Structure 1
Amino acid sequence: MEIFGSNFDDSVFSEAKDRGSVFVSSYNAKRCEPEWFCDSAALHTDDSLQKQKVFKFRGDLAVRQGNYQTGLDAYSSCLDWIGNNNLSIKRDILEGMVRCCTKLGHRDRAMDLVDILSKEASNTCHLTSLLLLKVSVYQHFGAIGPRMLSLQDLCSLLPFNPWNWFNLGKMCVQLLEDNTALEKSAEAEDPAYLAEGKVWLKACTCLIRTRLLLGILQQQQSSFVLLRNQNVLQSAEEALKHLNPKESTLHTLTEVMSKDLNPEKMKEDYQDGESLSSVCLQSFSERWWNNILLTGVLEAEGRDTRSDKT
């Protein structure tokens, strides 16, 4: 069962047609000294592309070495030399600046740069990268509600990716274990949304979805990939056991979260790289959460849907 578009076009393996003699010119690869871009002479040029490369490589090296202010300065200089049509490099540089600002504790500037990236996102790949970046920024600054919403958006965008579901479930489990953090976040952000009962239910739901998706994927995996997924599956099972839902709750949630898990539906909803103008996304609430709340499992479990601070 091929789900994620991994099948190949047969024409890739067909024999090439006789195109006659083809002239092949010799090619001499350009040799560069290690860290050539650190030399001040590297900027003694009128070539804007050369200057762009120098500042980008300097920024990348500084970030790798943990020098985030130096990296931020280099990335900022790089922006001045990027052409208006070079959107890929511009996005790469802006993401690097966001990560530097996050490490330096510059929350407002980091979020301003995220807003710029949001406006320039044009396909699902851009949106995926943006949401992952938001998750890391919100996690660093302890913004629990926005981080949870970003993970939910990832689940809506890539509904058959088990890692996003597992990360959302793991976050909910961590919140339940740190009750003080949960209460403070509920009080400051959204008491009804971060109510303990709902966080518990979301944790169960995400771990069950993870279990279902990994079970499907294991049919076409082997080697270290299979081993890694088995380890994650075991972690999900242990976390679910710790949450201790009733058997009736497990059955109900499994039924709701498996309705769209058939090969044809999964192929149809796979839209990696598609233009955002042609993609129709249902929100997390519309597609799953509202249906889950309607099942009445919270009431059956005897769990209040409100936080103590509400």
Structure 2
Amino acid sequence: MEIFGSNFDDSVFSEAKDRGTMFVSSYNAKRCEPEWFCESAALDTDDSLEKQKVFKFRGDLAVRQGNYQAALDAYSSCLEWIADNNLSIKRDILEGMARCCAKLGDRGRAMDLVDILSKEASNTCHLTSLLMLKVSIYQHFGAIGPRMLSLQELCSLLPYNPWNWFSLGKMCLQLLEHHTTLEKKGREAEDAVDLTESKLWLKACTSFIRTRLLLKVLQQQQSSFVRQRNKNVLHSLEEALKHLNANESTLQTLTEVMSEDLNPEKMKEDYQDGESLSSVCLQSFSERWWNKILQTGILEADGRGTQSGTTL
């Protein structure tokens, strides 16, 4: 009895000349001079796709050169030539325009573009890019509350990405070091973000511990320069935790809470990269982690309690 798929046609092993003449078409690659798209002749075409490419390349080059007004103008022109069904390029151009507006100090227009991107977001990749864009814009304008909320949303959307947690921890640490100036920052967020010194301290500890846990999980799958980079980050995490001066009991409690969902099966179930937003159910940062941490009474146990401070 033959095993299915175990018999082969003899022609498979015959010489190429026995298989008949194969037609091979020639291909001549198009050669372009450096920065060809900057030439005025590049727009001498009726092809909308070519015009779209020219304006996009001009915008990208202007961004690299730090000429954000020229980049914004080029991106705006590019937008006019993008086909309605080319949503990925449209999102790319709108994001570029928003970043240029932020660099030019036009926060209002930057946020208007963010709103357009928000309405058109349909999957987790779109939402991730949107939140990272928000973090960048809020950081540029010194909007503390919204920036922290966006970082927390990133942590909720991608709970196993260590770098979002690391960014949140660094932000809290920076705010702690300049805590006396928080009053001057204004009330930036619609939702309350507690910026009391004790809560900032606890959130910094929490974020750094979560980062450490995730990097140690990932370390088993990495090698070469990536592994070395993570070792360097782990060292900086230890230094940051020493600087925060948390007692051993606090560190142990935080480690237990923040490692509850770190098992292979749970991590596989929660992997949401590219999923439709309609099928994703996200717990807020408070629901998933923060409320649990506060319920442990960790601040009182560490001798910090709830200190007065600024709430945005």
TM-score (norm 1): 0.90
Q: What letter matches 1:225 in structure 2?
A: V
Task: Tell me how large the CA RMSD over aligned residues is.
Answer: 1.9
Matched residue, 1:62: 62
Residues in 1 aligned to 2:305 and 2:266: alpha-carbon distance in whole angstroms: 35
Matched residue, 1:168: 168
Matched residue, 2:116: 116
Q: What letter matches 1:78 in structure 2?
A: C
The 8 Å contact of residues 134 and 147 in structure 1, kept in 2 or not, is answered as yes
Give the secondary-structure state (helix, strand or coil) at the position aligned to 2:88.
helix
Give the secondary-structure state (helix, strand or coil) at the position aligned to 1:194.
strand
Matched residue, 1:136: 136
How far apart are residue 182 of structure 1 and its match?
2.9
Residues in 2 aligned to 1:301 and 1:197: alpha-carbon distance in whole angstroms: 10
Q: Does 1:298 align with 2:299?
A: yes
Distance 1:148 1:55, change over 3 A: same
Distance 1:185 1:294, change over 3 A: farther
Q: What letter matches 2:120 in structure 1?
A: E
The 8 Å contact of residues 145 and 188 in structure 2, kept in 1 or not, is answered as no
Distance 1:281 1:262, change over 3 A: same
How far apart are residue 31 of structure 1 and its match?
1.1
The 8 Å contact of residues 163 and 210 in structure 1, kept in 2 or not, is answered as yes
How far apart are residue 308 of structure 1 and its match?
3.5
How far apart are residue 180 of structure 1 and its match?
2.5
The 8 Å contact of residues 186 and 193 in structure 1, kept in 2 or not, is answered as no
Counterparts of 1:32-47 in structure 2 under 5 Å? 32-47=32-47
Residues in 1 aligned to 2:104 and 2:78: alpha-carbon distance in whole angstroms: 19
How far apart are residue 305 of structure 1 and its match?
2.8
Counterparts of 1:1-310 in structure 2 under 5 Å? 23-185=23-185, 189=189, 193-308=194-309
The 8 Å contact of residues 195 and 310 in structure 2, kept in 1 or not, is answered as no
Distance 1:159 1:295, change over 3 A: same
The number of aligned residues is 293
Q: Determine which structure has more spread, i.e. the larger CA radius of gyration.
A: 2
Distance 1:188 1:47, change over 3 A: closer
Residues in 2 aligned to 1:113 and 1:50: alpha-carbon distance in whole angstroms: 25
Residues in 1 aligned to 2:27 and 2:244: alpha-carbon distance in whole angstroms: 62
Residues in 2 aligned to 1:113 and 1:151: alpha-carbon distance in whole angstroms: 19
Residues in 2 aligned to 1:244 and 1:59: alpha-carbon distance in whole angstroms: 47
Matched residue, 1:9: none
The 8 Å contact of residues 142 and 185 in structure 2, kept in 1 or not, is answered as no
How far apart are residue 184 of structure 1 and its match?
3.4
Q: What letter matches 2:73 in structure 1?
A: D
Distance 1:195 1:186, change over 3 A: farther
**Deviation sequence 1:228-268 (CA, Å, 0-9, x none):** 00111111111011101111111111110000000111111
The 8 Å contact of residues 168 and 204 in structure 2, kept in 1 or not, is answered as yes
Give the secondary-structure state (helix, strand or coil) at the position aligned to 2:27.
coil
Residues in 2 aligned to 1:155 and 1:130: alpha-carbon distance in whole angstroms: 14
Distance 1:271 1:301, change over 3 A: same
- Unmatched 5+ stretches in structure 2: 1-11, 13-18
Percent same amino acid among aligned pairs? 80
Distance 1:300 1:42, change over 3 A: same
The 8 Å contact of residues 42 and 54 in structure 2, kept in 1 or not, is answered as yes
How far apart are residue 183 of structure 1 and its match?
3.7
How far apart are residue 28 of structure 1 and its match?
1.2
The 8 Å contact of residues 186 and 194 in structure 1, kept in 2 or not, is answered as no
**Deviation sequence 1:51-99 (CA, Å, 0-9, x none):** 1111111111111111100000010011111010000110110111011
Distance 1:89 1:202, change over 3 A: same
Residues in 1 aligned to 2:291 and 2:130: alpha-carbon distance in whole angstroms: 26
Residues in 2 aligned to 1:68 and 1:292: alpha-carbon distance in whole angstroms: 43
- Unmatched 5+ stretches in structure 1: 1-17
Distance 1:254 1:117, change over 3 A: same
Larger RCO: 1 or 2 (CA < 8 Å, sep 6+) = 1
